[in-house]
Structure 1
């Protein structure tokens, strides 16, 4: 299992994956909004989305877990 973590503090603007979805390394999983900029957070591994730990509108800090890939 691998946690995809936030690279910066911001608000979860959009979740681009669904539970059970197969994803590839480099695929955008979440888009954060910070200082009116949209920052894509990409998967660092291939796998299947086993958990989504945030909801759109949530505030996250740097290094918070967003999505779990198995």
Structure 2
């Protein structure tokens, strides 16, 4: 199991995958918006996206869990 965490605080601007999708290492899972910049958050391992912990429009802090990959 791999947890994908926010690298900085920001709003969830776009979610690019859904539970059940296969993700590759380095694939963008979520795009955060912070200070008018788009920050892609990528998977650090390949696997199946088990769960999303955020929705578009949510605010996350640095270190918050965004998704779980199995």
Distance 2:38 2:55 in 1: 16
TM-score, normalising length: structure 1: 0.99
1:36 aligns to 2:43 (yes or no)? no
Divergent runs of 4+, >3 A? none
Compute the displacement of 1:49 (Å): 0.3
Runs of at least 5 residues in structure 2 that lack an aligned partner in the other structure: none
Structure 1 regions of 5+ residues with no counterpart?
none
Give the alignment's TM-score, normalised by structure 2: 0.99
